[in-house]
Amino acid sequence: MILQTRDVPPRVAFALEQAGVHPLLARLLAARGVRSADELDTSAARLLPPDGLAGAPAAARLLADAIDASERICVVADYDCDGATACAVALRGLAMLGAPRETLAYVVPDRARHGYGLTPPIVELAAAHAPALLLTVDNGIASHAGVEHARALGMKVLVTDHHLPAAGQPLPAADVVVNPNRPDCGFASKSIAGVGVVFYVLLAARAELRARGRFDAAQQPRLEALLDLVALGTVADVVRLDANNRRLVALGLKRMRAARMQPGVAALLRVAGRDASRASAFDLGFALGPRINAAGRLADMTLGIECLLTDDAARAHDLAVRLDAINRERRDVESGMREQAEQRLETLLGPLDEPPAALALFDEGFHEGVVGILAGRVKERLHRPTFVFARGQGGVLKGSGRSIPGFHLRDALDLVSKREPGLLQRFGGHAMAAGCTLAGDAASAVAAFDAALGRVAGEWLDAAALARTVRTDGPLAQEWFDVPTVLLLDEQVWGQGFEPPLFCDEVQVLQQRLVADKHLKLRVRHGGQLRDAIWFNRIEPLPERATLAYRLALDEWNGQRRLQMMVEAARS
C-alpha cells in the first residue's frame, strides 16, 4: 500500500483563495482539478443545456406529442437506486408537464425472474397497461430484442440510458435513443447518471411544450423540484462527479437542507437517523442509496419507487421503515456471504505470495442480489478486479464485478467474450462496475471465466496498477482541526472522481481496543494533541507509531460533538 499526496497547483489555490474561497478548501479543490471560482457556481443557470444531448430534441417532440394527445406512457425502470429515482423523476415530471396521471404507469424488472433491461417479457408486462409509448430509464441501450418486440406490438419506444453501447454495434431500433455515450453525442458530461439523463429529457420536453404555447416561462412547471431525486440517484450510482454532476447534486442537497424534498426522501433521512438540514452526499451514498437498493436486491423495487412517488407523508414513512428493515436483512445476508468468501479466499490465496491479477468467486449459497456488494468488499481488501457469481433462476450464473483504476471492466468483458465465444450469455456495465451471465456448468464456467479474466488483467495491469495507492491531501494543519472545518467540508459535494478530503499525519498510538469485535478504536497523539480515532472493519492492532490516512468527522452523542479521525489506511 502506497500513500501518495495529491499535487496542489499553488497558483490555482492562491487564485481561489483570493476569490474568497476558504484557504483549506481552496487547496483541496485545486488538487481535484478546479481551476477557477466560476466552477464553484452551483446555480441552475450553470447547468449544461439539454439541447447538447443528442436525441433530446427528438425525445422532447415525442413526449410532447404523447402529452398533447393524452396517450398512455409506460416507464420501464431498473431495479437499482438510479433506476428507481429515474422512474420517480419521469413519472412526477411527466405529470408536471401535463400528462394525465391515469395515463402514466411503470414496470420494473424483478432481478431474479426477469434480469436486467427491456427484455421481451418486460415488454409483455408493460403491454398490460396498453401504452402508446414506452420510456426506458437507466436501461435500454442494449435491449435490441425488447425494442423490436415493443415496436412489433405497435408501441413507440424512447430509450434513455447512460450505459455504454456495445462497441461497433448499432443502437437499438427505438424511435429515439438518448444516451450521452452514443458515439455521435457531444454532451460534455459523459458521466451523467440515468436519472440525470431523463431529467434532461424532461427539460427538453418542457421547452418544446413552451414553444407550442402550452405555458409561458413564468408559468412553466418547476422541474427543479425533482432535483433531490436527481441528486440521490446520481450519488448512489457512483458515477464520476464532474462539474455538471456536482451542480446537480449540490442543487438537490440545497433543497433537502431547506426541507423542500419529496416526502419519501424526507422519510428515508429520518429512518436513517440523518439530519436533513445538514444532508450531505455521504448521506445519499451510504444511508439513503443502500435502503433503496436493498428493495431491488432482496425484495421488490416497487417499494422503493412507491416511497419516492407518494405525496402522503405517513405512507412514505411506512415504506421507508419497510425499506430500512429490508436493508438490515441485506446486511445480514452480506455478512454471511462475506464469511463464505473469506474461507474461499484463504484456500485460494494460502499458497500464493500475491493475489492473482483478477479473480472470480462462486458459492451455491451466494444470493444474487448481494453479489455486487460482496465483489466490492473483496476488491477493496485485495485491490484486484473481482467478480462474484450466484445461481439465478433457471440455474444460470449471474455475476457482478467491481474494478480498480486502470482496468475498464466492461471492455474486459468484451474481450473475454471475443476470446471465449459462448462463455458469456450477456454482459454490460461501466469501467468500474459491470455484470454478466455465464453459460454452462457452474464449476467449469466460473473457472473458465476466472482464467480468461485473469489473462486480460495480466496483460493490462502492471505492478504499479496492482499496488494499492491511497491518494491523500497531506497533513492537516492544527488550526483546521475543529468543528467549523468539518461543517465546511460536509457542505461540499464529494464523491466518485472528486474524492472527499483524506488527510495524512504521523501519530503516536496511545490506546487501542476493539468495538463490537470488528472496529479498531484508537486514542492517539497528533501534533501534541490527544485525538480520538476509529478504523471500521479493522481488527489488526497498529504499532506505537504510524502514519494514518483519515477523514475528519464529528462523533455526536447525547448532544455532544467531538472531533474524530476516521481512519481509512495506515503505514507503519
Domain architecture of the chain: domains with CATH:
2-39+469-571 (2.40.50.460), 49-259 (3.90.1640.30), 340-466 (3.10.310.30)
CB contact at 8 A, 131 and 105: yes
Closest CA to 429 of 146, 80, 150: 80
pLDDT at 350: 76
Mean pLDDT, residues 488-495 taken together = 95
Contacts of residue 197, defined as CB under 8 A and 6 or more positions apart, other chains included, come to: 53, 86, 137, 138, 160, 161, 162, 178, 179, 180
Residues in the chain, total: 572
Rounded CA gap, 386 and 380, in Å?
9
For residue 5, the surrounding DSSP H or E stretch is: strand 2-5
Cβ(131)–Cβ(154) below 8 Å? no
Give the start-end residues of each E strand in 407-559.
Answer: 424-429, 433-438, 469-472, 503-515, 519-526, 529-535, 545-557
Query: What CA–CA distances, in Å, run from 124 to 74, 150, 411, 571?
Result: 12, 8, 32, 56
Residues 6+ away with beta carbon under 8 Å from 460: 406, 407, 412
Average of pLDDT values for 474-484? 95
Q: What is the pLDDT of residues 243-256, one digit of tens each?
A: 999 999 999 999 99
pLDDT in tens, 15-37: 999 999 999 999 999 999 999 99
pLDDT surpasses 90 at 319: yes
Q: How confident is the model at residue 110 (pLDDT cuts 50, 70, 90)?
A: confident
The set of cell numbers assigned to 379 is: 476488491
Q: DSSP H helical segments within 398-441, as ranges?
A: 409-419
Q: Please check whether residue 452 is in contact with residue 419, taking contact to mean a CB–CB distance below 8 angstroms.
A: yes
Mean pLDDT, the chain, whole residue set: 94
- Is residue 229 within 8 Å of residue 89, measured between CB atoms? yes
Q: What share of the chain is helix, strand, coil (3-state, %, to 5)?
A: 45, 20, 35
- The listed range with the strongest mean pLDDT (146-155, 434-443, 461-470) is 146-155
Digit-coded pLDDT (tens) for 37-86:
999 999 999 999 999 999 999 999 999 999 999 999 999 999 999 999 99
What are the φ and ψ backbone dihedral angles of 404, each rounded to 5 degrees? Answer: -120, 160
Residue 130 pLDDT class (50, 70, 90 cuts) = very high
Query: Does 408 score more than 90 pLDDT?
Result: yes
Q: What is the pLDDT of residues 219-238, one digit of tens each?
A: 999 999 999 999 999 999 98
* pLDDT over threshold 80, residue 440: no
Helix (H) or strand (E) holding 263: helix 263-271
Q: Which residue has the cell 394525465?
A: 100
pTM of the model: 0.92
Q: Identify the bridge partners of residue 110 per DSSP, sorted by sequence position.
A: none
Terminal-to-terminal C-alpha distance of the chain = 11
* C-beta of residue 86 within 8 angstroms of C-beta of residue 78: yes
Written in H, E and C, the secondary structure of 313-357 is HHHHHHHHHHHHHHHHHHHHHHHHHHHHHHHHHHHHHCCCCCCCC
Sheet-wide strand order for 424-429: 359-362, 386-391, 397-402, 433-438, 424-429
Phi, psi for 402 (deg, rounded to 5):
-130, 145
% of the chain residues with pLDDT over 90: 84
Which class for 426: exposed (0-12), middle (13-18), buried (19 or more C-beta within 10 A)? middle
